[in-house]
Amino acid sequence: MASSGAISAARVADLERQLAVAEAARTSAEAARAEAESRLATSEEARARLERMIAQLRRDKFGATSEKSDPDQQHLPFEDVEVAEGRLAEASDAAAKATGNEKTAARTSRRNKGHLPPHLERVERVIEPDSTLCPCGCGEMVKVGEDRSERLDVIPARFRVLVTVRPKYVCRSCDGASHVQAPAPEWLVPRGLPTEALVAHTMVSKFGDYLPFYRQADIYRRQGIDLDRSMLANWSGRAAQLLDPIIDHMITSLKRSGHLQMDETTVPVLAPGTGTVRKDYLWAILRDQRGWGGTDPPVVVFHHSRSRSGKVARDLLKGFAGGTLMVDGHTGYDSLADPKQTARPWDIAYCWTHWRRRFVKFGQDTPSPICEEMVARIAQLYAVEKEVRGKAPDARQAARQTLSKPIVDALRPWLEARLQELPSASDLARHIRYGLKRWDGLTRFLSDGRLEMDTNGVENAIRPIPLTRKNALFAGSDDGAETWARIASLIGTCRLNGVHPDAYIAATLRKILDQHMTRDIEDLMPWTFSE
């Protein structure tokens, strides 16, 4: 009986050991499975991230860069259809005229909406009947009215030659000892071909309309005028040198401003002696008070730099009065708010459009209710901004406190709750943390009616730079990039003030050549110009 009990005890111990081994094996298997699932989740997240990156690269290269739908782009597929429709309409009209079945009933007008601008030159062509004699023999008919119609015409760009004649006068009574002649005017290019208007047109064509000098030379050649691109570049350089004091004064005007926007974009520059192209940067500083009815005129100034570092931003803003600077999330701007690195620290306000763009791009590749909700909530804020644009700062601030602040206050806890539901390494979690980390700067617009919600103003001012960069390929040197920046500053400021840059540059060059005094330089600013 004792032996049977001992055997039973041994058997129980053996079973317990087997159970422990099995339990350990199960635990190990579960741990291995959990590790494998974790690696699989990480792999899937990495794969999804790579797929989003590839899709984004494709959109950046081949698709629209704006997340806002352009209505004109929606019409592109129908343009060829409309051309074909026009051909059919013309054929139908011709057939109706040939058969005498032309309809006299008025058709719905498809002409340009509104009327042609009144400033356009009107050239009248009166079409009289072959005879105004009454067919009954009563004599000459009396005019009782007329039908008038306006059509838009164009005269292709044409050149002309300005001939300067300076007559010489002598006194015959004193054997020519006394004589008089008007002094020769100062020209931009001594004994050169161009007028100020031609040089202004050349500069604006390249730096405002994205037309490189070699393409302009081809256009001139079609008119029988052989102008080398290097000649066009030389003329523009001479003009830029004369316009430098104006751009310096624009910078001085900016330095007195307390609410600015800042951004940067890449610009390719040919590295001397290497045959390679270096990636440099053009930094833009914008003042635009039109959103809140400020009195200072809008100004944008570009600066060339080899770096995108915070030191460049600090150097560019030396001597500025300080205040609030609206920027994107680039960490190079962080030092501007640090008293240890900046003599006059700035209050940094961050751009909501940049944050919104992250969710838009993520949602394009991975449908996400979080992204849809986030974009919808930001749209509510922009609806408020649309209503207060152009109003006084106090009214803007009051409306934001009443309408926008509750939306913003509810947004943060909602995002923090969503963050707990997402894997910490996911891209969507990273996009949420981007904004939460910059929350104070993002919400600064609520308490200051002079601030915008975004840096769209400076981004719009920068837009011509990438287009010029795409067509011109690169700047030939550091000096060329600096000239590019300064001319772009002048053209951009003209556009912000609703001034025709061709007319402004031509008139201003003429004033400078006529010895306009430096102390009256304010009279030469784009915002004081009138045609």
pLDDT in tens, 144-171: 888 888 877 777 777 888 888 989 888 8
CA distance 129 to 136: 16
CA distance 326 to 455: 6
- Residue 180's pLDDT is 87
Across 2-27, average pLDDT: 75
The number of beta carbons lying within 10 Å of the beta carbon of residue 365 is 17
138 pLDDT exceeds 70? yes
pLDDT, greater one: 303 or 36: 303
Residue 414 token pair: 């909602």
Across 78-103, average pLDDT: 57
- Residue 509's pLDDT is 92
pLDDT, greater one: 498 or 38: 498
**What is the pTM (predicted TM-score) of this model?**
0.73
Which amino acid is located at 296 in the chain? D
**Residue 252: which of 310, 304, 299 has the closest Cα?**
299
Specify the long-range contacts of residues 191-198, CB closer than 8 Å, at least 24 apart: 192/235, 193/227, 194/235, 195/162, 195/506, 196/239, 196/505, 196/506, 196/507, 196/509, 196/510, 196/513, 197/502, 197/506, 198/235
CA distances from 195 to 350, 441, 500 (A): 45, 50, 17
In the chain, % of residues over pLDDT 90: 29
- Residue 109's pLDDT is 46
440 pLDDT exceeds 90? yes
3 state SS of 273: coil
Q: CA neighbours within 13 Å on the CB side: how many for 382?
A: 12
124 pLDDT exceeds 80? yes
Tell me the pLDDT band of 355, cut-offs 50, 70 and 90: very high
Which of 214-218, 440-444, 453-457 is predicted with the least confidence, judged by mean pLDDT? 214-218
- Residue 53's pLDDT is 65
3 state SS of 26: helix
80 pLDDT exceeds 60? no
Helix axes 196-207, 464-472, angle to 10 degrees: 90
- Residue 249's pLDDT is 93
What DSSP state is assigned to residue 438? T
CA distance 525 to 249: 8
Across 75-88, average pLDDT: 50
What DSSP state is assigned to residue 196? H
pLDDT, greater one: 385 or 518: 385
Cβ atoms of residues 313 and 330 within 8 Å: no
- Residue 147's pLDDT is 85
99 pLDDT exceeds 70? no
Cβ-Cβ contacts under 8 Å for 307 (sequence gap 6 or more)? 281
Tell me the pLDDT band of 86, cut-offs 50, 70 and 90: low
